[in-house]
Amino acid sequence: MLQLIENAWHYTVKLVISNNPEAGGLVLAQQAGIETKALSRADYPSLAEFKSAIFESTLEAGADLVCLAGFMMLVPEQYTKIFTGQMINIHPSLLPKFPGLDTHKRVIEGGEREHGCTVHFVDAGVDTGPIIAQAKLKVRPDSQADDLSREVLALEHKLYPWVVNSIARGWIRPTNGQVQIEPQAKLDAAAKGFIIPR
């Protein structure tokens, strides 16, 4: 969860939540003095209550932006409504192609020549929210799923921070279910090799 700083090239991370108490992101956050919370599915009678605990924690944090990474579950619709335009996710494919799981394997099986990652606003569907930006790479004839996983992850580590920074600067905004991209963001994306698909 992030506190955005208007017209700045940075943001403040308010809280890092994971369902894995051993997650590396929690360790990094703790080392940086950032509040963390580990929530275990085993502590909740139902999946719905577990999800609710996660998103109630985000509400309590009072963040301006919720950034999902590796969240392999549908966000409950009540929270997609609460966080409309304030929740983003990164997905390892060039959406709308290959939503859901096993993207690298499916890309190879589908004979795709390009692959990559997408940052999008979150809605109630499976990777169906408005697309913000993408980064892509060529799929080699000898590419394996593990190779693509590593290569796409490297792209994710570049694209996701750029999108968050651009939102913090006011360069990217949700408007009536669409994504408004300022000219500065388009120029900066082009310089970095990112794609603004519109």
Whether the upstream peptide bond of residue 92 has omega within 30° of 0, thus cis, is no
Number of alpha carbons in the 13 Å side-chain half-sphere of residue 71:
22
Determine the Cα–Cα distance for residues 128 and 49; give it in Å rounded to an integer: 24
Cα 93 from chain centre: 12
Exposure pattern of 164-196 as b/e (b: 16+ CB <10 Å)? bbbbbbebbebeeeebebeeebeebbeeeebbb
CA-CA distance, 173 to 160, in Å (whole number)? Answer: 15
Task: Name the one residue in this structure whose structure tokens are 């992850």.
Answer: 153
Active-site residue, from 91, 104, 115, 120: 91
**Annotation says 91 is catalytic:** yes
* Count of residues in the chain: 198
Q: How are beta strands 114-121 and 87-91 bridged, if at all?
A: antiparallel
Active site residues: 91
